[in-house]
């Protein structure tokens, strides 16, 4: 009887150990604060996968750049330092020009067009990420990008010499073509950059301006130019992905699709509510005049030609599918 009890205890221990070894834990690197809608959406995605996987996978989120800063996340996931992470897509143009397609000025200026562009570009983007050892899960756009400034901008001349916050090659190029002086700054550093005078203008979403309380740093103007709808994407290290069974992989993709739909809805709501928040805080929210609008569209056309040359046949194919 004693030997039988020892045998049962041993078998139980082995089975428990097997269950532990089958369980996986993923750390999810997020660049934006927990209150940002992208991070909140990612946290809900992680929670749903964790609860529905039956203990096979736990995803722990690390918002606000607490695990890796925004500029480090793509490399961290690719090298397996983090199993999963979210990154601003168009900041990765040097990795793959296709990742910049959603930041080509005035190519898609509505949510409907942004979705069409996403569907047209997604197959090539997924293929490119796969070649780098990454699995694409979902992407969610920011609200339409507008122009912030400490001073009123009434003419093309008012742009000359403005110290401009850039965050990707597209925004750097816009600055060059309009005579502004670009400085590359991540979202988490925006308030400090404006308060110290390092920058005095930027193109970004009303959400980013609201979250950083940009009006507290002397920024009084938001021009709703709807330049583009850039996206954040969630990616997984392929080696980590391949450790999961088929059922867990299927669950993740199902929850990713849900998170994507919800994220697009949250973005649309923010596109309205966050502009109102800027106005309620005392900022002047409006449109640029027709001369400035024509100038920005001319800049956009120049950049589109440059991007097509850089993206090659893949880019031409994506634009053809979009149009």
Q: What percent of the chain has pLDDT over 70?
A: 93
The domain that contains 113 carries what CATH number? 3.40.190.170
Q: How many CB atoms lie within 10 A of CB 167?
A: 24
Please check whether residues 198 and 211 belong to one and the same domain: yes
Residue 210 lies in a domain: yes
Taking the C-alpha atoms of residue 268 and residue 255, their distance in angstroms, rounded to an integer, is 20
pLDDT surpasses 60 at 116: yes
Half-sphere exposure of 268 (CA within 13 A, CB side): 11
Residue 4 lies in a domain: no
Q: pTM for this structure?
A: 0.86
Taking the C-alpha atoms of residue 191 and residue 60, their distance in angstroms, rounded to an integer, is 28
Residue 1 lies in a domain: no
Please check whether residues 190 and 72 belong to one and the same domain: no
pLDDT tens by residue, 212-233 = 999 999 999 999 999 999 999 9
Please check whether residues 124 and 201 belong to one and the same domain: no
pLDDT surpasses 70 at 14: no
Please check whether residues 121 and 202 belong to one and the same domain: no
pLDDT surpasses 60 at 2: no
Q: For residue 321, with 0-12 CB atoms within 10 Å meaning exposed, 13-18 middle and 19 or more buried, which class applies?
A: middle
pLDDT surpasses 90 at 7: no
Domain that holds residue 235: 23-141+231-274
Taking the C-alpha atoms of residue 110 and residue 233, their distance in angstroms, rounded to an integer, is 19
Q: What kind and span of H or E run contains 129?
A: helix 111-131
């Amino acid at each position: 009887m004693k030997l039988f009890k020892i045998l049962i205890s041993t078998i139980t221990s082995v089975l428990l150990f097997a269950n532990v070894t089958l369980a996986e834990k993923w750390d999810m690197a997020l660049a934006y604060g927990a209150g940002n809608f992208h991070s909140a959406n990612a946290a809900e995605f992680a929670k749903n996968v964790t609860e529905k996987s039956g203990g096979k996978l736990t995803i722990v989120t690390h918002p606000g750049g607490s695990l890796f800063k925004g500029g480090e996340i793509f490399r961290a996931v690719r090298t397996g330092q983090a199993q999963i992470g979210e990154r601003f897509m168009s900041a990765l143009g040097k990795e793959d020009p296709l990742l910049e397609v959603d930041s080509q000025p005035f190519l898609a200026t509505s949510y409907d067009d942004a979705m069409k562009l996403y569907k047209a570009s997604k197959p090539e983007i997924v293929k490119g990420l796969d070649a780098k050892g990454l699995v694409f899960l979902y992407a969610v756009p920011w609200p339409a990008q507008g122009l912030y400034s400490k001073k009123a901008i009434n003419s093309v001349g008012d742009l000359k010499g403005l110290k401009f916050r850039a965050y990707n090659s597209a925004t750097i190029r816009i600055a060059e073509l309009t005579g502004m002086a670009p400085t590359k700054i991540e979202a988490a550093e925006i308030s400090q950059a404006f308060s110290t005078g390092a920058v005095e203008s930027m193109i970004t979403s009303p959400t980013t301006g609201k979250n950083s309380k940009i009006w507290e740093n002397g920024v009084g103007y938001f021009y709703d130019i709807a330049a583009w709808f850039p996206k954040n994407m969630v990616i997984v290290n392929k080696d980590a992905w391949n450790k999961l069974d088929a059922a867990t992989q299927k669950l993740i993709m199902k929850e990713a699709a849900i998170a994507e739909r919800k994220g697009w809805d949250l973005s649309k709501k923010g596109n309205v509510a966050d502009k109102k928040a800027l106005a309620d805080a005392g900022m002047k929210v409006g449109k640029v005049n027709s001369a400035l609008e024509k100038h920005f569209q001319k800049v956009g056309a120049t950049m589109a030609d440059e991007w097509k040359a850089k993206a090659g046949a893949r880019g031409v194919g994506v634009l053809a599918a979009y149009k």
